[in-house]
Structure 1
Amino acid sequence: MSERAARPQRRKTRQDWVDVALTAIAEGGVAAVAVEPLAARLGTTKGSFYWHFPNRGALLEAALAHWAERTTTAILREVKSASYDPRGQLKLLITRVVAMAEEDPVGPALLATATHPAVAPVLRDVTRTRLDAVIALFAELGFPTDEARARALLAYSAYLGHTQIAHSTPDLLPSGKEERRLYLDQVLHILTAP
């Protein structure tokens, strides 16, 4: 009896499909989300896919929603629930998104396909949500609305630049724990200076 036959295989869940779709996006963009290759990667059949999703578009939508939750909604929830003052919340946000930017290969892959009909509205909503949250933090720090908006846009642009560097030339970023702390403190100082 083969080892595979002796060991019952766990049924693939909806989340298994979402996770493998995100991995495929990270490796090959939205076009890499194809049912048969994903089924092979999961070691299952297309029938498993159709048990959870009516079509490829539904899988793509679920994967993008999961990415948005993990990289935006969850982080903003964590920041808002932190007992820090607005400056402390902004520092926590910067620390979390910088770490995420370095670890998340899906974000850059989505930016590369920003005009795709399934991706464009998700990126638009995520960007607006992120910017609105940062604008609110700058407003809580006492900056007038226009300046809060300008600083938030600068912060978000820096985040996108950091993401690009983290994935293309990571050796240019501070690597040691103390260097990273000083770098992030300097970013916060620049963003909040009068």
Structure 2
Amino acid sequence: MAERKRLSARDWTDAAVVALAEGGIGAVAVEPLATRLGTTKGSFYWHFANRDALLAAALESWERTDTEEVIALVAAEPDPRTQLHTLLTLAVGGRDGQRGGRVELALLATRDHPLVAPVLARVTARRIDYVARLFGGLGLPPDEARRRGLLAYSAYLGHAQLTQAAPDTVPGGADLAAYVDATIGLLTTSS
């Protein structure tokens, strides 16, 4: 009999985030995840007290990787316009490990869940505030920067929805850069 790899809490958490992206919070279930990971439920209970603890860890991981790590990556760029370009490219084109908005859409469907609601509210506010700061860095007054940050985030969610519902309608590959440039042009043009 082959020896099983000893799984970590991180292995379970990563699998739970993938399950969130694929099927929402209902897909974060111990037995199917154990099967996916090639282990038993006992491994799960070694690391987590219950399913809610795993869901909380998955939400924390998603917030860190798809918000805080993206912001840190973008902040390393030299100026607000380049930062905005990088952010939009990552948001609509994805990056290694990013799920292209699928987790957000799944969480929006269960936004009233007691574990989901505070995380979703915090992530949404953080993202809109960050994008508004980028627009502020381009010289827009605070109210206008906030309005455009909200508009940019709304466009991102719409793009995520289109990517899921009609993937052939969204640009990719060589067309992605032109799409991002056009979007930035629209969002930065004087009103």
- Residue 23 of structure 1: how far off its partner (Å): 2.4
Whether 1:162 aligns to 2:159 is yes
Structure 1: how far apart are the matches of 2:20 and 2:111? Answer: 12
Residue of structure 2 in register with 1:44 after alignment = 39
Count of aligned residue pairs for this structure pair:
187
Change (3 A) 1:176 1:40: closer
Residue of structure 2 in register with 1:105 after alignment = 102
Contact kept, 8 Å, 1:39 with 1:46, in 2: the verdict is yes
- Residue 104 of structure 1: how far off its partner (Å): 4.8
Whether 1:28 aligns to 2:23 is yes
Residue of structure 1 in register with 2:53 after alignment = 58
Residue of structure 2 in register with 1:78 after alignment = 73
1:81-96 to structure 2, matched below 5 A, reads 81-82=76-77, 84-96=78-90
Residue of structure 2 in register with 1:183 after alignment = 179
Across the aligned residues of Structure 1 and Structure 2, the Cα RMSD in angstroms comes to 1.5
Segments of 5+ residues of structure 1 without an aligned counterpart are none
Aligned-partner SS, 1:165: helix
Structure 1 counterpart of 2:182, one-letter code: Q
Whether 1:193 aligns to 2:169 is no
- Residue 176 of structure 1: how far off its partner (Å): 4.2
1:8-27 to structure 2, matched below 5 A, reads 8-27=3-22
Contact kept, 8 Å, 2:100 with 2:160, in 1: the verdict is no
Change (3 A) 1:29 1:48: same
Contact kept, 8 Å, 1:102 with 1:166, in 2: the verdict is no
TM-score (norm 1): 0.90
Change (3 A) 1:143 1:103: closer
- What fraction of aligned residue pairs are identical, expressed as a percent? 52
Structure 1: how far apart are the matches of 2:184 and 2:75? Answer: 18
Larger Rg: 1
Change (3 A) 1:146 1:104: closer
1:110-189 to structure 2, matched below 5 A, reads 110-177=107-174, 179-189=175-185
Structure 1: how far apart are the matches of 2:120 and 2:64? Answer: 12
TM-score (norm 2): 0.91
- Residue 102 of structure 1: how far off its partner (Å): 6.6
Structure 2: how far apart are the matches of 1:104 and 1:140? Answer: 25
Segments of 5+ residues of structure 2 without an aligned counterpart are none
Structure 1 runs, 4 residues or longer, greater than 4 Å off = none
- Residue 32 of structure 1: how far off its partner (Å): 2.1
- Residue 65 of structure 1: how far off its partner (Å): 0.7
